[in-house]
């Protein structure tokens, strides 16, 4: 299945990482379940996908509120990330997106814009030999307001020296598409593996 890009010529491509470049969402979900088991904290798969793109610490804080728990946010976030790193050897790329990265690498600037922490993003990209394809990485530590706020995409455009309206965003979540739209950028939706026909 090829991705259908919107019409227009774009001077930069901005890619979400998890679920867009790498099919990491199932691995992240396994890591979440293991990390939260110690606290007997439920996290339904449907909610996990709905919250795709949110920073890890936001997710833990929201789960604390929902379930009236007092999980230590930073400790649980670290545990979840370390469990994810253990699963990296199983990571696979999303071929329809890699095609666009390969085609444009060296022609226009490329950035990764993620709600995950830098170490997680670098780990995922390095596992698939993709780290050197990107001019910049904008990760959870680099902005205050996460998706659907436009901050992360605007930061990437600024770093690349490209106007927001000249950027094309590749995203797999509603929250990510909303964020790109709020930034004044065109976007292309990468369907979840479940949504592929």
Give mean pLDDT in consecutive 10-residue pieces for the chain, a chain of 197 residues.
88 97 95 97 94 89 97 96 95 95 97 94 96 97 93 98 98 94 97 57
pLDDT of 52 reads 85
Its pTM stands at 0.89
Helices (H), ranges, 128-189: 151-160, 174-182
- 115 near 140, Cβ under 8 Å? yes
pLDDT of 197 reads 37
Phi, psi dihedrals of residue 120, rounded to the nearest 5°: -65, -45
pLDDT of 1 reads 58
Q: Is CATH 3.40.50.1000 correct for 12-24+91-195?
A: yes
Which one of the listed residues 16, 18, 23, 172 is annotated catalytic?
Answer: 16
Instruction: Please report, for the chain, the start and end positions of each structural domain, with discontinuous segments joined by +.
Output: 12-24+91-195, 25-89
Q: Is 95 helix (H, G, I), strand (E, B) or coil?
A: helix
CA-based nearest residue to 167, from 143, 187, 138, 189 = 187
**DSSP code, position 108:** B
Bond from prior residue into 107 cis (ω within 30 degrees of 0)? no
* Matching CATH number, 25-89, of 1.10.287, 1.10.150, 2.60.40, 1.10.1660: 1.10.150
pLDDT of 195 reads 47
Q: Check if 23 is active-site.
A: no
């Amino acid at each position: 299945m090829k991705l259908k890009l919107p019409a227009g010529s774009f001077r930069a491509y901005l890619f979400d990482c998890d679920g867009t470049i790498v099919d990491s969402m199932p691995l992240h979900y396994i890591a979440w379940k293991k990390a939260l088991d110690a606290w007997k904290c439920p996290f339904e798969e449907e909610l996990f996908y709905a919250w795709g793109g949110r920073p890890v610490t936001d997710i833990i804080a929201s789960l604390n509120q929902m379930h009236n728990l007092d999980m230590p946010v930073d400790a649980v976030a670290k545990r979840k990330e370390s469990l994810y790193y253990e699963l990296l050897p199983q990571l696979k790329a999303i071929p329809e997106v890699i095609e666009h990265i390969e085609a444009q690498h060296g022609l226009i600037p490329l950035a990764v814009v993620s709600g995950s922490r830098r170490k997680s993003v670098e780990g995922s990209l390095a596992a698939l030999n993709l780290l050197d394809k990107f001019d910049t990485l904008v990760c959870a530590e680099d902005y205050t307001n996460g998706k659907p706020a436009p901050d992360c995409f605007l930061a990437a455009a600024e770093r690349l020296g490209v106007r927001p309206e000249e950027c094309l965003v590749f995203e797999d979540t509603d929250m990510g598409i909303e964020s790109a739209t709020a930034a004044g950028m065109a976007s292309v939706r990468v369907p979840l593996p479940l949504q592929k026909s």
